[in-house]
Structure 1
Amino acid sequence: MPQEPRRTSQQAPGLRERKKQQTFDTISETAVALFLERGFDQVPVAEVASAAGVSKPTLFRYFPAKEDLVLHRFADHEDEAARVVAARAAGESPLDALRRDFLAGLERRDPVTGLCDHPSVLAFQRLAYGTPSVVARMLGFLTRSEEALAKALGEGTGARLAAGQIIAVRRILADGNRHRIAAGETADEVLADAREAAELGFRQLAAGLGSLDA
């Protein structure tokens, strides 16, 4: 997607920006609908562009790779952990803030926690995690998440190591929930175990990253 300056809450989007967002949304929604219907590998980019009413070069200006047509839905979460740390209350440690946020995500069945059994979410997850080239490109998402969190933690080697461990734990917890739901369990059935696993994961992080609070 073209890089635009982020708007503050006081700024209203201009006409040009609204048109860009509309084009972006149209392309992405069209692509995901076609991929869900026929499979990622069975739908060429040219067909997505045609169905969305744009040229192929225009599509690639918004989405540099075909996989990005799927992965853009993850993009809003790249700096989520960093934002939680930056917005934490006075006196609250980074790990306490991240633990609180993850547990709250479980309660509201946030797809990011893996604890969501809404049919449309499950269909999208089957598409994303069932396409090898998309899974491979997810590495960039994880790397950018680690970099953003490390910056929020203060940068430096210690911050980078801590960020890598935190992002890994969040991913493992989410994957565990997602796999159980994909196997047929409901979110309600998994919730208690998901809470327990999250508590364990963050206790282990706290034991290993005690100096992070400083």
Structure 2
Amino acid sequence: MAARTPRPTGTPEDLGRTPGLRERKKQQTRDALVQAAHELFLGQGFARTTVDEIASAVDVSQRTFFRYFANKDEVALAVMAEAEDYFIECLHHRPAEETPLQALRASIVKAWRDLGNARASGPGSITSALELMRMIEDAPTLLAAHLRRVTEQERIVVRILAEREGLDPREDLRPAVLAAVFGSVLRAAHLSWTADREPEGPEGMITLIERHFDQLGPALTGHWRTPGQHPGAGTPGDTPPS
């Protein structure tokens, strides 16, 4: 994802300042556009929703819409961008004694839990993020935009891990390898959640993410078959090919 400063309402932390009236009004307009777009996308589909419809729902002009968002993809992914930015912020502040994988895992769990506690509904809410995850899989153009953001976020993660460990990522491939593995585990967890539609809510997603990470070590080391099982025999109860 593109590096940017997380907006104040996107994190549950107290940033220690009170925004001015103009800033609050701009934030309200942005939030209204995000919420209107999200509701329209869920109601009639991403492809059928136009920028004009989103702007009209908030009673602003198309020109105003483009002051806040470059296109329809960006306003749709704004919900996920909040969570992604907060995850990066969490990773920056993980204790140095944690291993890179521990830091990544703790950061994603903290991001989901904190954002879930901070805002359960409304623009930028964890509920909206969960709804968006399901919508992304059904909209090819939105999925492509999301994957581009994921690729950029992976580059940021590589840089942070390399800085934490005092490595040059051009010479040491471990930050890049771990960032790629981490992203793939999250993607697998998200796909599992959207396919099964269970368990619900942020805590359900956290449980699913933790379950996937618990399988990372076993998946990377040793054989997967049970002791004594012949290679290629399949699982117990399988009928061998004739």
* TM-score of the pair, normalised by structure 2: 0.65
1:32 is matched with 38
Shift in Å at residue 133 of structure 1?
1.1
From 65, 69, 78, the equivalent of 1:72 is 78
**What are the within-5 Å matches in structure 2 for residues 32-111 of structure 1?**
32-102=38-108
Asked if the contact 1:146/1:164 (under 8 Å) is kept, the reply is yes
Asked if the contact 1:49/1:56 (under 8 Å) is kept, the reply is yes
Asked if the contact 2:33/2:65 (under 8 Å) is kept, the reply is yes
Asked if the contact 1:145/1:167 (under 8 Å) is kept, the reply is no
What is the percentage of aligned positions where both structures have the same residue? Answer: 30
CA separation of 1:104/1:67 partners in 2, compared to 1, >3 Å: closer, same or farther? closer
Q: For CA contacts below 8 A with separation 6 or more, give which structure has more relative contact order.
A: 1
**What are the within-5 Å matches in structure 2 for residues 2-17 of structure 1?**
9-17=15-23
SS in 2 for 1:64: coil
Spell out, residue by residue over 1:152-208, the C-alpha distance to the aligned partner (whole angstroms, 9 max, x if none).
112623233332222222222222233222xxx444999877644321125657x7x
1:134 is matched with 142
Asked if the contact 1:81/1:149 (under 8 Å) is kept, the reply is no
Asked if the contact 1:95/1:202 (under 8 Å) is kept, the reply is no
Letter in 2 for 1:178: T
Spell out, residue by residue over 1:83-127, the C-alpha distance to the aligned partner (whole angstroms, 9 max, x if none).
3432222411121122344566788996xxxxxxx9866644433
Spell out, residue by residue over 1:28-49, the C-alpha distance to the aligned partner (whole angstroms, 9 max, x if none).
1111112222222222211211
Unmatched 5+ stretches in structure 1: 111-117, 208-214
CA separation of 1:166/1:66 partners in 2, compared to 1, >3 Å: closer, same or farther? same
Q: Answer with 98-107 or 150-159: which moved more.
A: 98-107
Query: Number of residue pairs matched?
Result: 194
1:199 is matched with 214
1:175 is matched with 191
2:122 is matched with none
CA separation of 1:45/1:198 partners in 2, compared to 1, >3 Å: closer, same or farther? same
Letter in 1 for 2:82: D
Q: Answer with 17-26 or 121-130: which moved more.
A: 121-130
Q: Distance in 2 between matches of 1:66 and 1:98?
A: 30
Unmatched 5+ stretches in structure 2: 9-13, 117-125, 163-167, 222-242
Q: Distance in 2 between matches of 1:133 and 1:172?
A: 20
From 144, 150, 156, the equivalent of 2:169 is 156
